[in-house]
Chains A and B, each alone.
Chain A
Amino acid sequence: MRVPRLIPYLPGPDMTPMIDCVFLLMIFFMVSTDMGAGAHTSLQLPEAGKATAEDEAELAHTLIVDVVEASEQPGGAAQPLPILLEGRPVASLEELRRLLRHRSDPKRFPDRAAPMIPGTDMHPSARRLRIRCDRAQLWGWVSAIMELCTVRRSAPLEQELLASPMLRHIEIAVMQLAPPR
């Protein structure tokens, strides 16, 4: 009886190596795909040579603000600001300030290494703010975002202690440029 020899001659190609390859490709694409929130696809970052590489460990504690090009604004002309916080558009700079304060919460995440806010016993927030601004966009947005992170002198201090995000660590996202020398 030759029954055992019948099995290797069954019709159809051997699928095992192909499935191996396909799984390998799938795992590669799953790992290399970035689906994190707040990362806007069509942003063209400026270039800088003095930039430091991003720190994956710090990324979890980093708030991300995107400033997109005017034509890329999610709500079109109806959307007044080209600014997105964690991928979601914000209506006004004051709303952005409120949302940043909510997330930075200097009471819960104090940066004890930093000097205290003068006249108070509060430290600034230990969280970081990354500003990802399109290279063609106006600098005014970036300086406005940085300004609203500070403790303003134009408002009463007690009010600012409740309203200011007190974000001290600002990162301006750039593309790394190889130094020419």
Chain B
Amino acid sequence: MKSNRWQRGTLQRMLEVTPGVTTTPLIDVVFLLLIFFLCTLRFRATEARLALELPMDRGLGGLVGAEHQEPLRIEVVPAGAAKSGEAAWPLLLRRRGAKTPIGRITGVMPDPTDPRRTLLLADPPDTLPRFEAWLADIRRELGDLVVRVEAGDQCAHAAVVAVIDTVLEAGFRRVDFSAGAIARAAAPR
């Protein structure tokens, strides 16, 4: 009997002075942090880039004048807008799966031997892969021309990026741009 009572007293004392730290507040804080990071989570976007080099001497459109070489001009106009009296071939750009086109490309290819003449395209490309094949043919024939993308201010960014991408895919390295109306308005006269 006496030894039993002694044991019970020891148990009580043992429970009161259990060794170790209280982990409850720690777990509280850790869960709080975990929920915070879960809520603010945004995965690092798998972002890529199209790297371009701007000419530094003459503003946009300077690459061409600097090298006295007739560029391959590719004009991008907004979907629906068509210029009259232009030897143009239509190229509709669609975002994948979308019904409505986001842009239309008109291409004017000057004959490098005679700037007044325009090469007529026997088989105007109407899709991006055919446009790329067409550009690749020109590159094989005429070498690494400067390609000047003349895109209107009202074109969708995606349409112009698709054109630049196709130009790069076709193997051209020097891409130039013409300054649009917004840029011209910002620049001092």
> Measuring CB to CB, which residues of chain A are less than 8 angstroms from any residue of chain B?
1, 3, 6-7, 10, 15, 18-19, 22-23, 25-26, 29-30, 32-35, 39, 41, 45-54, 67, 93-94, 114-115, 117-118, 124, 130, 132-144, 146-155, 166-176, 180
Contact = CB atoms under 8 A, between A and B. Distances in A.
23 contacts: A1-B10, A6-B14, A32-B44, A34-B43, A52-B51, A67-B157, A93-B186, A114-B56, A138-B155, A139-B159, A139-B180, A140-B183, A142-B157, A143-B178, A144-B183, A146-B177, A150-B54, A150-B62, A153-B62, A170-B51, A174-B48, A175-B47, A180-B129
B62 to A, nearest CB: 7
Contact of A51 (B152, B165, B186): B165
A29 B37 contact: yes
A140 B59 contact: no
B27 interface: yes
A40 to B, nearest CB: 11
A84 to B, nearest CB: 15
Interface string B140-175: 000000000001111111111110110011000000
B42 interface: yes
Interface in B101-157: 129, 151-157
B57 interface: yes
B33 interface: yes
Interface residues of B, number: 68
Contacts of A147: 59-60, 179-180, 183, 186-187
Contacts of A144: 179-180, 182-183, 186
A61 to B, nearest CB: 14
Interface of B: 7, 10-11, 14-15, 18, 23, 26-27, 30-31, 33-34, 37-38, 40-60, 62, 76, 95-96, 129, 151-162, 164-165, 168-169, 177-183, 186-189
Given A15-B23, A19-B23, A144-B182, A118 B34 contact: no
Contact of A155 (B30, B47, B95, B187): B187
A97 to B, nearest CB: 8
Nearest to A115: B56
A117 B95 CA distance: 39
Highest count of chain A CB atoms <10 Å: which of B30, B51, B129 = B51
A139 B156 contact: yes
Contact of B168 (A33, A50, A170): A50
